Amino acid sequence: MGIFLALASFMIFILSFVYKATFVHKYDHHLVSDHYYKDELNYQKELDKLNRANNLKENVVIEHKESGLVINFPAEFNAEDIKGTIYFQRPSNYKLDFQTPINLTNNEYLISDDKLVEGIWNVKIDWHVGDKTFLLKQKISY
């Protein structure tokens, strides 16, 4: 009788994990990108952009200040010529992910506190000046 109770308890224990992993949204398991294979094909282009950005005299700098998150672009470029997109990805909750276009009047871009919640964020800044493209990928704790 004891062996039967032990086996039944173990089976219920395992089935509860299967149920949680399958049906409870708190334990949602999905790929980071819906277009995973397409993204992999563009990986070499990303590496080229990352290397180009790292070879600049001054790369993009992300700072947390009282007003929010300040992104400083290199002073060697005219602010009006810098275009691109800033992507914010929250690894723990994809519903908080957002992107914003880069439109500058000076070399600083401010992301206000109301758009970001505390925690870990993956920041990807894909920007260009003329035909030169650059990329910064950084994990920040906000």
Average pLDDT, the chain: 87
The closest of 131, 140, 141 to 49, measured between CA atoms, is: 131
Gap between the Cα atoms of 108 and 116, Å rounded: 18
Contact 71, 86 (CB under 8 A): yes
The reported pTM is 0.69
- pLDDT tens digit sequence for 29-58: 565 666 777 777 788 888 999 999 999 999
Q: What is the CATH number of the domain that holds 47?
A: 2.60.40
Give the residue numbers spanning the domain of 14: 1-30
71 and 124 both lie in a single domain = yes
- Answer yes or no: do 60 and 109 share one domain: yes
Both tokens assigned to 118: 């505390």
Instruction: Give the mean pLDDT per block of 10 residues along the chain (142 residues).
Output: 90 89 69 70 87 92 89 92 94 89 91 86 94 93 84
CA distance 96 to 117: 9
For residue 93, the model assigns a pLDDT of 85
Q: Both 83 and 121 in a single domain? A: yes
User: Same domain, yes or no, for 63 and 2?
Assistant: no
